[in-house]
Amino acid sequence: MSMPKSFIGANGMVITSVPGGASPRDTTACALPSGMKEHILAQPGFPHSIPSPTSPAHCIMLVKGAGLGMYATRPIGAGEVIFAERALVITPQSIIVVPVSPDALGTREDVAKRRAKYRKELMAMLLDRMSPENAAAYRALVNSHMNDGYGPLAEIFDTNSWQISIAEMRKAILGHLGNPLTNISGVCDTLSRINHRHVLAPLHNPEERAGATF
């Protein structure tokens, strides 16, 4: 499978895949503000190799009544790598609306329909860039936003996405810091099997917390 060419979408968004030169299975489908891809590619050492744990530390298994989940397979020390992976897809959190003339704005319902149409088209373009394996993994993820009106691909994104912090992205978004489109989120395959609660639950006492970093 050859890598699809990058192109410019609505609002100047660049529809692309990174890192270049890798097999489609090892790339991330991206929708990025214009200029951001060049900053990312210019980072020293990019693309970095994916770190591996010293020995397998987890497995993905069925959780009764909750689908697939992640289980530890051995004691894990503080700071250990449990797993690492490239995201399947990265795109802005902000809902992008294609500009129209004031006369064409219409009602709130019209605006909502345009927004939904754009998101459906954007996510379809990103899925088309994925390898068959990555696309199948994405489609297999949980969708808890059914009937939001944005279609299953966007609803899966909303269910499973994790925000990429501005601090991690700062060098890649110079000149874009005031742009809401730089609020980037990604969806990963394995990471999506971790509990999705945004307020992390206590384990044995209120001082113990569990979390994931990527």
Check pLDDT > 60 for residue 63: yes
Check pLDDT > 80 for residue 92: yes
Range of the domain at 73: 51-84
The answer to whether residues 69 and 143 belong to one domain is no
Whether 203 is in a domain gets the answer no
Measured distance CA(194)–CA(212) in Å, rounded: 8
Q: pTM for this structure?
A: 0.79
Q: What are the structure tokens assigned to 98, written together?
A: 């294609």
Whether 153 is in a domain gets the answer yes
Contact criterion met (CB below 8 Å) for 107 and 115: no
The answer to whether residues 139 and 189 belong to one domain is yes
The reported pLDDT for the residue numbered 175 is 60
Check pLDDT > 60 for residue 19: yes
Average pLDDT, stretch 24-53? 86
Question: 28 burial class (0-12, 13-18, 19+ CB within 10 angstroms)?
Answer: buried
The reported pLDDT for the residue numbered 3 is 62
pLDDT 10s digits, 123-171? 999 999 999 999 999 999 988 888 777 889 999 999 999 887 766 666 6
Average pLDDT, stretch 25-30? 90
